[in-house]
């Protein structure tokens, strides 16, 4: 019995063209009735698709019609059914962010890659870091800081000189972005179950924004971050090209 496939594509013309070609060959159905969801685009579209379909049982198989495509498989039309049958599943738990803003509003969001705090003005941010209720750093002067999952460790985290984390390592990376004081502090490795809290020092003078997988909130004063094991994103990869292999390969280029 052929799998019921839902084809989703980014707005890029190359992705829309690919979607039309695949629908012409394999048909299409709504995501809530699909056995598998095929996402056509880049990593940003893949993250958006995982967030939008997290309530559905169908796993997501990405094909790269974007730029980097770290979370995507290579694009091909003719052998899709065989590839889907052979695909290996990875399960990713996102981060949960709870951000309190200066006006008292509270925002919650999930992040598959990372939650980041970024200075939103000309002066460096000042952050106080608490882990599991224990104050760990009184003051970090920096452009920002982030907490990354293993799946997101090769993205913004790696660009900020954070470590690449193996999939399944049950570890989170806490990484400073352009730290000024302590000047040589590059962050910490934390257990997956750790709860991290950033308090913004002098928020009126040094405004900070928080970002969870490109969903941003301005003028935050406190951001709490923890792993969310109750949410499981199911993502499919071609054999030998899963996240574990990709994360290892990234360390040798």
Active site amino acids: 43
Question: How far is residue 248's CA from residue 169's CA, in Å, rounded to a whole number?
Answer: 13
Structure tokens at 39: 């996402």
Question: How far is residue 232's CA from residue 228's CA, in Å, rounded to a whole number?
Answer: 8
**Nearest Cα residue to 214 out of 8, 90, 50, 36:** 50
Q: Which residues contact 180 (CB under 8 A, 6 or more apart)?
A: 124, 141, 142
Q: Is 87 helix (H, G, I), strand (E, B) or coil?
A: coil
Rg (CA), the chain: 19
CA 239 to chain centre: 22
Strand ranges (DSSP E) for 150-194? Answer: 171-177, 188-191
Structure tokens at 40: 């056509």
Structure tokens at 103: 């006006």
Query: For strand 36-41 and strand 60-64, is the pairing parallel, antiparallel, or unpaired?
Result: parallel
Neighbour count for residue 36 (Cβ, 10 Å):
18
Phi, then psi, of 9 in degrees rounded to 5: -140, 150
């Amino acid at each position: 019995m052929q799998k019921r496939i839902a084809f989703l594509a980014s707005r890029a013309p190359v992705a829309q063209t690919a979607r039309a070609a695949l629908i012409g060959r394999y048909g299409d159905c709504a995501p809530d009735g699909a056995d598998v969801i095929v996402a056509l685009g880049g990593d940003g579209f893949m993250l958006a698709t995982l967030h939008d379909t997290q309530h559905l049982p169908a796993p997501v198989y990405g094909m790269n019609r974007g730029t980097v495509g770290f979370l995507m498989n290579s694009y091909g039309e003719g052998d899709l059914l065989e590839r889907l049958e052979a695909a290996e599943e990875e399960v990713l738990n996102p981060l949960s962010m709870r951000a309190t803003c200066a006006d008292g509003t509270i925002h919650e969001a999930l992040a598959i890659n990372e939650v980041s705090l970024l200075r939103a003005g000309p002066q460096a941010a000042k952050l106080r870091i608490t882990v599991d209720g224990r104050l760990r750093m009184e003051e970090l002067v920096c452009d920002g800081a982030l907490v990354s999952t293993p799946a997101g460790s090769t993205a913004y985290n790696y660009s900020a000189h954070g470590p690449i984390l193996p999939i399944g390592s049950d570890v989170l990376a806490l990484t400073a972005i352009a730290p000024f004081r302590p000047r040589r502090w590059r962050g910490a490795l934390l257990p997956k179950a750790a709860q991290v809290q950033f308090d913004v020092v002098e928020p009126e003078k040094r405004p900070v924004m928080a970002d969870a997988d490109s969903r941003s909130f301005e003028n935050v004063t406190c951001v709490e971050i923890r792993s969310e094991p109750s949410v499981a994103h199911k993502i499919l990869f071609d054999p030998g090209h899963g996240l574990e292999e990709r994360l290892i390969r990234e360390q040798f280029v």
